[in-house]
């Protein structure tokens, strides 16, 4: 694609961007194939889909590691017109080099084998979870983890680090397991103490009314009203259902959200919908439609930053009194007569509970991070070889009892509940809590900047909030690191205290503390 902007740039850079556009387009096709497998693909399509996924992965890897692409990057790196570190072009070339060097470390046969194993494992996981049959999942998970470990070895262990770091960097660049541990350990102590205080001294809110039966089509209709109000453009996106909610930003003008519905768990559905909408708003806010789609500056910098957007809309907005001042009358009208008797105060209290539960995606804000810490410790042990796959349920149940005080009743509500490991997404889970930390720090700055934010949200007005995220987070793509984005947006380095202040400000009133 040639525009007025591209004609003023070096031709070598335009050629490089064109090559990246083609690679990005292949990636969007691969993502679309994955989305279809999670939503509408018939069960018997698994074998063919695994072959399709493997072939696409092979083609993308060949493009990403083509020596001609490396030469194009080198030409741009030596071009005097592209050497200004403050320019977007410099940042794009810098990130392309990082991606190219990483891709060339991975053998094509490994990339293809991993894609095929992941596609098959995903289907096995669905059946294993449904039937509470972890043993049937062991061979598939073992293969995926073995290939993922090999992937980490090929990427290389960072100096002074461990194998887990190589995989973590796929999702949170430059982060290390040791750094994550240094953040999680004190946070775990504070969270545990707070959760215990609430359990010992708080007056638990009534949540019975949020478990009344509501037809899924009505829940879907309410979710659509909410995401449209948040600013999600349904002309450039859609909302569907799946087993495990996710968001895919395929390409310019095409961002897909998925959610799931439970007849008697309305908060789970609307929470998932708002969460994925936050991801979708980020994807729609990235500068993909500039003509440089496929280049790093049209992509998210890290999953932690991505997660900060989803958790902000789900929790900071979606559990607030201001939001429900606007949303509850709409819900009562759409769900009538099911929630006709529900008042604002009980609704807000019910949305800010602090009760340990088995399922991560259904957990409350305060206990959620303990679920993440559990998974971080277990996957780190699996990759290091200190935990055999067959022993995962026992290790899970023991740690779950220690962290959340509950006896896990079965593997479906234990180590089989998440899809991530069937995809080999090792290093992914820590980004959830990093996202919470980023979001809480942003939220304090946002409220200092938009002083009447609560009044706006109570009227169903979210435009100024979205504009802030677009200007301070979305527009940058990968131009700055996650840490740099946080410092630029909030004026300070990452600090865990805003998250604790946020949780206490919501939970204490809900429990009369």
**Of 133, 130, 168, 132, nearest in space to 148 by CA:** 168
Q: How far apart are the first and last CA of the chain?
A: 59
The first and second tokens of residue 427, run together, are: 């290093």
- Tell how far CA 187 is from the center of its chain: 20
Q: Distance (Å, rounded) from C-alpha 240 to C-alpha 257?
A: 6
333 in active site: no
**Of 189, 201, 192, 194, nearest in space to 502 by CA:** 194
- Residue 458: exposure state from Cβ atoms within 10 A (0-12, 13-18, ≥19): middle
- Tell how far CA 269 is from the center of its chain: 17
**Cβ–Cβ under 8 Å, residues 216 and 261:** yes
348-359 as b/e, with b when 16 or more CB fall inside 10 Å? Answer: bbbbbbbbbebe
The first and second tokens of residue 218, run together, are: 């009505």
CA torsion 81-87-90-92 (nearest 10°) is -130
Q: Distance (Å, rounded) from C-alpha 222 to C-alpha 334?
A: 7
**CA dihedral (178, 182, 185, 187) positive or negative:** negative
DSSP string for 163-196: HHHHHHTTTSTT--HHHHHHHHHHHHHHHHHHHH
Residue 26: strand, helix, or coil: helix
- Tell how far CA 271 is from the center of its chain: 14
Q: Distance (Å, rounded) from C-alpha 485 to C-alpha 472?
A: 8
- Choose the catalytic residue: 276, 307, 314, 377: 276
**Of 344, 368, 343, nearest in space to 356 by CA:** 368
**Cβ–Cβ under 8 Å, residues 463 and 336:** no
**Of 374, 351, 349, 373, nearest in space to 364 by CA:** 351
Q: Dihedrals φ, ψ of 238, to 5°?
A: -155, 165
Active site members: 276
């Amino acid at each position: 694609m040639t525009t007025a902007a591209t004609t003023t740039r070096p031709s070598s850079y335009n050629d490089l961007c064109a090559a990246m556009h083609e690679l990005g387009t292949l990636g969007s096709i691969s993502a679309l194939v994955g989305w279809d497998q999670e939503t509408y693909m018939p069960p018997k399509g698994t074998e063919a889909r695994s072959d399709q996924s493997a072939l696409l992965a092979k083609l993308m890897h060949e493009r990403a590691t083509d020596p001609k692409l490396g030469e194009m990057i080198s030409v741009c790196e030596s071009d005097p017109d592209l050497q200004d570190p403050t320019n977007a072009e410099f940042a794009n070339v810098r990130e392309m080099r990082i991606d190219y060097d990483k891709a060339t470390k991975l053998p094509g046969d490994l990339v293809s084998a991993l894609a095929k194993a992941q596609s098959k494992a995903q289907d096995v996981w669905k059946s294993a979870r449904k039937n509470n049959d972890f043993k049937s999942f062991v061979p598939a998970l073992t293969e995926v983890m073995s290939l993922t470990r090999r992937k980490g070895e090929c990427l290389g262990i960072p100096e002074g680090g461990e194998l887990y770091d190589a995989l973590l960097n796929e999702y949170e660049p430059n982060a290390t397991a040791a750094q994550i541990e240094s953040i999680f350990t004190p946070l775990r102590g504070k969270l545990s103490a707070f959760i215990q205080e609430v359990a010992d001294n708080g007056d638990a809110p009534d949540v019975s009314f949020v478990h009344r039966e509501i037809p899924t089509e009505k829940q879907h209709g309410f979710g659509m009203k909410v995401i449209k109000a948040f600013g999600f453009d349904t002309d450039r996106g859609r909302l569907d259902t799946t087993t495990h909610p996710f968001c895919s930003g395929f390409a310019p003008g095409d961002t897909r959200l998925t959610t799931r519905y439970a007849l008697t768990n309305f908060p789970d559905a609307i929470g998932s919908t708002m969460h994925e909408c936050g991801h979708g708003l980020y994807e729609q806010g990235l500068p993909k439609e500039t003509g440089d789609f496929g280049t790093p500056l049209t992509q998210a910098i890290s999953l932690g930053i991505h997660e900060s957007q989803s958790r902000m809309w789900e929790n900071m907005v979606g559990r607030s009194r201001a939001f429900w001042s606007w949303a509850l009358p709409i819900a009562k009208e759409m769900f009538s007569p099911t929630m006709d008797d529900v008042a604002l105060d009980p609704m807000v209290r019910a949305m800010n509970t602090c009760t340990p539960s088995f399922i991560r995606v259904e957990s409350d804000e305060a206990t959620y991070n303990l679920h993440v810490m559990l998974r971080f410790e277990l996957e780190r042990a699996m990759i290091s070889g200190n935990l055999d796959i067959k022993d995962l349920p026992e290790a899970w149940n023991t740690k779950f009892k220690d962290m959340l005080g509950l006896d896990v009743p079965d593997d479906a509500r234990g180590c089989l509940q998440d899809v991530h490991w069937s995809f080999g997404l090792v290093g992914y889970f820590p980004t959830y809590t990093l996202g919470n930390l980023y979001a809480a720090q942003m939220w304090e700055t946002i409220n200092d900047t938009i002083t009447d934010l609560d009044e706006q949200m109570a009227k169903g007005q979210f435009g100024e909030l979205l504009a802030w995220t677009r200007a301070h987070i979305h527009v940058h793509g990968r131009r700055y690191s996650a840490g740099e984005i946080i410092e630029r947006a909030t004026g300070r380095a990452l600090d865990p205290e805003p998250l604790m202040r946020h949780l206490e400000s919501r939970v204490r009133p809900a429990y009369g503390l």
